Amino acid sequence: MDYIEVSMSGFGDFDPEIAMAHLSAMGFESFNESESGFQAYIPEDLYNEVLISGFLKQLHDEHGVVSGTIKILAQNWNAIWESAYEPVTIATKCQVRAPFHPVLEGIEFDIVIEPKMSFGTAHHETTSLVLEMLLEEEVKGKRVLDMGCGTGVLAILAHKMKASQVVAIDNDDWAYANATDNMIKNAASTVVVLQGDLASIPLPEFDLIIANINRNVLLNDIPGYSRFLHPGGVLLMSGFYEQDLEQIRPAAVQAGLQYHSHRSRNQWIGAKFVK
């Protein structure tokens, strides 16, 4: 079976995961993230030119998102993924890879993510930034919450770092199923995966909350994260640009959180706050 590839870039403040979720509902099976955006793949017999072109035009008109080339790919799908999907190594300690990649010798934390399940494969700067920050935290014995978990890659790392309990939450159907599958692949079945939002957060409080979402969701939900964070607890946030820190930082302070530090990569930000 032949596949059609649609490439998208120029998202600005618009969350590319929203676009991926819509395309997934239209029959796109796989996504390959890049620095500028992503490539989406759909079987040729499921490609509805009118429906998909209308959606791409809406994204362009309302959010300035650019749709690039649309092309038919060879039918050897596994070969396409194996040539395009590269493993990612974070701080020499953590490897995020597909099942067909070998484990690096001496790696401390090995995480397996199916390439077609790619809301958070560590290829995007925001995911890699939070993975780096998480590796620097004292996670052992802590209660950890991963909001907007996507593939569950951050929750999986927290589990492998011996957190006492990990909860992963996402409001997207596809992401919920994706994260659940990846917990099994990584022998992390004790991680609690929930579908929902702030209202789904279980008590009691958490020692560490991770939120890699987007600026607007973060600004809305920061007070909620603070309510569920234990005094002295840490909030790690990403999914926004350097200039957005001017809004994120005062919102966090107003919610009772103290700014600790941040790091950036290609204009994306990962920030740490402490309650």
- pLDDT tier at 130 (50, 70, 90 boundaries)? very high
Alpha carbons 21 and 6: distance in angstroms, whole number: 14
CATH fold of 3-82 reads: Alpha-Beta Plaits (3.30.70)
pLDDT on residue 82? 59
Top pLDDT among 116 and 93 is at 93
Q: Hey, what are 35's tokens?
A: 């620095």
Distance (Å, rounded) from C-alpha 115 to C-alpha 82? 9
DSSP 7-54: EEE--TTS-HHHHHHHHHHTT--EEEE-SSEEEEEEEGGG--HHHHHH
Please state the domain extents for the chain: 3-82, 124-274
Predicted pLDDT at 267 = 87
Between 51-65, 184-198, 227-241, 252-266, the lowest mean confidence (pLDDT) is in: 51-65
Q: What percent of the chain has pLDDT over 70?
A: 91
Q: Does the domain spanning 124-274 belong to CATH 3.40.50.150?
A: yes
- Return the pLDDT at 85: 72
What is the mean pLDDT of the segment spanning 14-37? Answer: 80
Residue 30 pLDDT grade (very low, low, confident, very high; cuts 50, 70, 90): confident
pLDDT top residue among 150 and 193 = 193
Burial 56-82 (b: 16+ CB within 10 A, else e): beebeeeeebebeeeeeeeeebeebbe
The mean predicted confidence, pLDDT, of the chain is 88
Predicted local confidence at residue 31, as pLDDT = 78
> Does the pLDDT of residue 43 top 60, yes or no?
yes
Least confident segment among 53-62, 206-215, 217-226 = 53-62
Cβ(133)–Cβ(158) below 8 Å: no
Residue 119 has pLDDT above 60, yes or no: no
Over 50: is that where the pLDDT of 118 sits?
Answer: no
Do domains 3-82 and 124-274 share one topology? The answer is no
Q: What is the pLDDT of residues 214-253, one digit of tens each?
A: 899 999 999 999 999 999 999 999 999 999 999 999 999 9
Q: What pLDDT was estimated at residue 77?
A: 53
The pLDDT tens digits for 131-178 are: 999 999 999 999 999 999 988 999 999 999 999 999 999 988 878 888
Beginning with the edge strand found earlier in the chain, give each strand of the sheet holding 30-33 in spatial order. Answer: 30-33, 37-43, 3-9, 66-73
